[in-house]
Amino acid sequence: MPLPSIALVVARGRNGVIGKDGDLPWRLRSDLQRFKAVTIGKPCIMGRKTWESLPLRPLPGRLNVVLTKDESYHESSKAKGCLVVTSLSDAISIAREQAVEDGADEICIIGGAAIFEAALPKAKRLYITEVDAAPDGDVLFPPFNEAEWNEVLRESHQAGEKDDHDFVFRTLERI
């Protein structure tokens, strides 16, 4: 079995915004359902702020790997249910080992911006929800060259009952 690949999973507005004040700048139940479907059974790597923003910790059915510069964070009560690491390479190594053990073909990077930026050059796949909105926010998805990626899936959706905006599910694979 080949080494599990790295996938980034993100929802972003037309203006690149992915977060505001430690939360998502919209409510999209359909995106949360896709997020779960994409990540279930796969190790998920995230930053401390993303971890602390989760309404349910840990994400069930997934190894939750939290990347932080705070070497004592693992002693914090907030770290219950996750594996704390201080380097992206350690996070990827541990997540890949778990993915192999679980039979998963990829590991998922789920935020925030600095971790997306560091992992983007290593990523093979991007699961992007393009939200039809340009909200105010303080966290942006890093820019990337779409010419280096092949779109393998595009599904346009009208806002459902518990969705604030229309959106498009896209899956991109590195060329």
pLDDT number for residue 71:
92
Classify strands 5-13 and 106-109 as parallel, antiparallel or unpaired. parallel
Closest CA to 135 of 9, 16, 34, 22: 16
What does the alpha-carbon distance between residue 117 and residue 50 come to, in Å, rounded to a whole number? 14
pLDDT number for residue 2:
82
Residues in a beta bridge with 157? 167
What does the alpha-carbon distance between residue 35 and residue 147 come to, in Å, rounded to a whole number? 25
pLDDT in tens, the chain (175 residues): 689 999 999 999 999 999 999 999 999 999 999 999 999 999 999 999 999 999 889 999 999 999 999 999 999 999 999 999 999 999 999 999 999 999 999 999 999 999 999 999 999 999 999 999 999 999 999 999 999 999 999 999 999 999 999 999 999 999 9
The token pair at 75 is: 């002693």
What does the alpha-carbon distance between residue 121 and residue 117 come to, in Å, rounded to a whole number? 8
